[in-house]
Every structure is written in structure tokens, then in C-alpha cells.
Amino acid sequence: MFKILEANELTTNIFQMIVEAPRVAQACLPGQFLIIRVDEDGERIPLTICDYDREKGTVEIVAQAIGAETFKLGKLKAGDSLADVVGPLGKPSDLCEENLEDLKKKKIVFIAGGVGTAPVYPQAKWLKEHGVDCDVIIGAKTKDLVILEDRFKKVCNLHITTDDGSYGRSGMVTKALQDLWDEGNKYDHCVAIGPMIMMKFVCKLTEELGIPTVVSMNPIMVDGTGMCGACRLTVGGEVKFACVDGPEFDGHKVDFDQAMNRMKLYKTEEGRLMLKAQE
């Protein structure tokens, strides 16, 4: 069992937890994810890692209550436990592998949309710890849905935009990126993490602007080990599994329309059966 040391609601239906998981905390790097089960009968829930503390042996997760399992997860309190925490899964971010002197010469921008803001945090923090500056654009529908603002301010140059203009800049992340570019921020590298539709349109814009772009894909996952095929994607015309080949991919090569169609199919029983038959 994996003890929950802290559990807080960050905003409506989005909660943060610090969980005791020493082996995962020892090994994980920015970009990787976990699969958890709330109890022994529970479904597996893939979650991105928001932060980790190797000395304390803890990992931090941020999740949105959108289905039965995540609602059950959101009801847990400090002192409760999770039945399973499996990870770290997937490949670490390519940024962790790059030569630091080369990275320092690059102008890097992260685009963090909604709950996708959480997995951007460990990457920005890792860069700061290694002496690399970056810009982060957080996009949220409205002011109340902006998360982790104070923590981001300590590790990056932060730009916030809200769809309704209630806080920061006004409009979606693509508008903020275009405006920052027009204001003279000629970015060399972009990482976009958030809803698929956001990543699709960020990639459309960065392709026009000529900015290489990495996205973190979060399709439906089941086993997280490359065996079940649930997280299948097409990237550059090739079949890839987000759980073992990703979750990060070259955003200009991802077939987002196919990925979004598969997500829609999973929302119906009939669709789930259809996809199972294809696997």
C-alpha cells in the first residue's frame, strides 16, 4: 500500500496528492508517468508526475475528477492509501538528455493547458535546477482554473492567459504564443502539454513559425507496458505506443485527428468493443 501524506483540492475537481512511493521517487525523471489503482478492484489510472522528492521518497500527482475512478481517487484524504503505484513509466523528456550548454543557448517555451499544467512543472523545475531559463505559457478557461502559479513563478518566466480574459492575457494559448512571438520572443523549442485539441492547434502554429515542438500524448492506457495496444498512435506514419515509445513525441508528426477519434470511441461501450476488436 502507498500512503497518501497530503491531499488538497487545487480548484474545482482538480486535486493534488503527495504519496509515499520511495522506489518511484528514486528513479523518476520529468516527462514520465505513473499508473495507480485506488483499490484492488479499481481500474488503472495513468497520471503524470507533477513533482518528486528523492530524499523524502514521495511523488506528487495532480488529477482531474472526470470519471468514476478519478472521483473515487479525489475523495481520498491524507492518511488513506493507494493499492498500487506503478512507475516510473514511459521515457523521460528529451530535454533531460540534451547537452546543458546547448540547452542554455536555446529559447525554450512550454505551453501548459489546463490540467496539463501539472506535468510541465517538473520539466521547468529541472531546467531551473540545471541553470537553463525557460518561458511557460499557462492557459486556463478562467481565473479560478489556473493552477500552480506560485510554484511556476519560482522556476520560469511565466505568462498566464485565460480564454475569458479574467486573468493575465486574454484568449487561448495559441494567441498568447503568437503575441509573444510578435513581441520578439523567437523561440527555438516548444513543449506543449494539455488537451489534444490544444496540442493540435499549438503544433499547427509552431509549424508555421518553424519552432520544433514536442507534445506529451495521453491517450487511453491500460497496461502501460506496450502489451495491450490501447495507447496506439500514428506518428510520422508509424504506429507508436504512447506508454513505451512516449509519452513525448514530435508534435509535427502526430496524427492528432486519429488520436482524438480513438478517444471519442472509448467513451462509448460500442466504441470500446470496436477498438478491442481492432487490437
User: Which CB sits closer to ligand FES, 45 or 132?
Assistant: 45
Q: Of the two residues 201 and 266, which places its CB atom closer to ligand NAD in the complex?
A: 201
For ligand FES, the closer of residues 139 and 224 by Cβ is: 224
Angle at the Cα of 71 from the Cα atoms of 68 and 76, rounded to 5 degrees: 130
CA distance 5 to 186: 42
Least distance CB 252 / ligand FES (angstroms) = 22
Give the per-residue contact string, 213-232, with ligand FES (x = CB under 6 A; - = no): --------xxxx-xxxxxx-
Q: Which does 206 bind (CB under 5 to 8 A by kind): ligand FES, ligand NAD, none?
A: none
Supply the angle between the helices 173-182 and 196-209 in degrees, to the nearest 10: 20
Partner residues linked to 85 by β-bridges = 36
In the range 235-274, which residues lie near ligand FES by CB under 6 A? 241, 243
- Start-to-end CA distance of the chain, whole Å, equals 32
Phi and psi for 131 in degrees, rounded to 5? 75, 20
Residue whose CB is less far from ligand NAD, 81 or 185:
185
DSSP-assigned letters across all residues of 7-69:
EEEEETTEEEEEEE-HHHHHH--TT-EEEEESSTTPPPEEEEEEEEETTTTEEEEEEE--SHH
What does 31 interact with, of ligand NAD, ligand FES, none (CB < 5 to 8 A by kind)? Answer: none
Per-position x/- string for 172-211, each x denoting binding to ligand FES as judged by CB under 6 A, each - no binding: ----------------------------------------
21 binds ligand FES (CB under 6 A): no
Amino acid sitting at position 85? V
Binding site for ligand NAD (CB under 6 A): 48, 113-116, 119, 139-141, 163, 172-174, 193-195, 197-198, 201, 216, 218
What distance in Å separates the CA atoms of residue 265 and residue 237, rounded to the nearest whole number?
21
User: Under the rule (CB under 6 A), what is the footprint of ligand FES?
Assistant: 221-224, 226-231, 241, 243
